[in-house]
C-alpha cells in the first residue's frame, strides 16, 4: 500500500489560517490555493453519524455547548461553526462526514480523515466512517486516508476496511512508534515536525512508510523537511507554503 499518492501539501482542517476549521468553507478555501488535499477531524454524533469537528466539546468552534457526542447530527448541523472565525463566515454549518466527502470529490481534493477516538467507542466510530466512505466517495478516485493517534483505531480500520489506506499519527518518531505501526499495515506515519530530523525521516522511509508531518506554516521549515525526504506537509496556510515552494523551484 506504500504507493498511495500522498499530496505534497495538505490543508490542515481545510485551510485553518484562511477560513473556519473543519468546515465546507475551509475546504473551498483550500481548493482555491491550489493544494490537492485536505486533512480534517471526525467524531461521532449521538445518533451515530460522523461529523467533522476537532474538539470533543462544542464551545471553541461553534455556537453550541457541551460534548459533541451528546448531540444528534441534526442539532449539530444547525449550529454556527463560522462566526467565531469572522463575520463573513457567520452561519457556516458544522458538516457531516458525508457532506464533506461529497464536496471534496466535487473539488477534486484528496481527503485525510483523522478519526478522533479518545475515550473509547472505537468500533462504532470506525464502522460509521468506513460506511460513509463506501457510500459517498467515488470508486474511481484514490480513497481517503484514514488516520489516528489511537493505534487501536487504526487497527480497527484495517480489520473493517483493509482496502482503505491508513496512517498512524505520532508526536515523536522513535522505535516504539515504529513498532506500533508495524502490525497496522499503514501507508504512512505522520509526525510532529518539531521533533523530526533528517535521521528520523530516513528511518521512517527505510522501514517502508511514507512520512507526513504536521503542522508546518513556515515555508523555510517546509522546504527543509521536504529536502530530508518528507512526503507530505500538513499546513494551516497552504497559500503561503504553496507560493513559497513554487517560487523556490
User: Which residues are known catalytic residues?
Assistant: 12, 54
C-alpha grid cell for residue 98? 458525508
Q: Is-contact 146 127, C-beta < 8 A?
A: no
- For residue 125, CA distances in Å to 46, 65, 152 come to 11, 21, 12
By the 10 Å C-beta count (0-12 exposed, 13-18 middle, 19+ buried), 159 is classed as exposed
Residues 6+ apart with CB under 8 A from 249: none
CA 205, chain centre distance (Å): 21
From first CA to last CA, the distance across the chain in angstroms is 30
Amino acid at each position: 500500500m506504500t504507493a498511495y499518492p500522498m499530496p505534497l501539501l495538505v490543508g490542515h482542517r481545510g485551510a485553518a489560517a484562511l477560513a473556519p476549521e473543519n468546515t465546507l468553507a475551509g475546504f473551498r478555501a483550500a481548493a482555491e490555493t491550489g493544494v490537492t488535499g485536505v486533512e480534517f477531524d471526525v467524531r461521532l454524533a449521538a445518533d451515530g453519524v460522523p461529523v467533522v469537528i476537532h474538539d470533543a466539546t462544542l464551545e471553541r468552534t461553534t455556537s453550541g455547548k457541551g460534548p459533541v457526542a451528546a448531540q444528534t447530527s441534526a442539532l449539530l448541523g444547525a449550529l454556527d461553526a463560522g462566526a467565531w472565525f469572522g463575520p463573513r463566515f457567520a452561519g457556516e454549518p458544522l458538516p457531516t462526514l458525508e457532506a464533506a466527502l461529497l464536496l471534496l470529490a466535487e473539488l477534486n481534493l484528496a481527503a485525510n480523515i483523522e478519526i478522533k477516538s479518545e475515550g473509547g467507542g472505537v468500533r462504532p466510530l470506525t464502522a460509521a466512517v468506513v460506511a460513509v466512505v463506501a457510500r459517498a466517495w467515488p470508486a474511481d478516485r484514490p480513497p481517503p486516508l484514514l488516520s489516528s493517534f489511537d493505534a487501536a483505531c487504526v487497527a480497527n480500520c484495517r480489520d473493517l476496511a483493509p482496502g482503505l489506506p491508513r496512517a498512524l499519527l505520532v508526536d515523536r518518531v522513535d522505535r516504539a512508534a515504529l513498532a506500533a505501526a508495524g502490525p497496522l499495515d499503514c501507508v504512512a506515519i505522520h509526525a510532529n515536525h518539531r521533533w523530526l530530523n533528517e535521521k528520523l525521516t530516513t528511518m521512517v522511509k527505510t522501514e517502508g512508510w511514507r512520512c507526513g508531518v504536521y503542522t508546518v506554516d513556515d515555508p523555510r521549515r517546509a522546504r527543509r523537511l521536504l529536502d530530508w525526504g518528507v512526503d507530505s506537509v500538513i499546513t494551516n496556510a497552504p497559500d503561503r507554503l504553496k507560493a513559497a515552494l513554487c517560487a523556490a523551484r
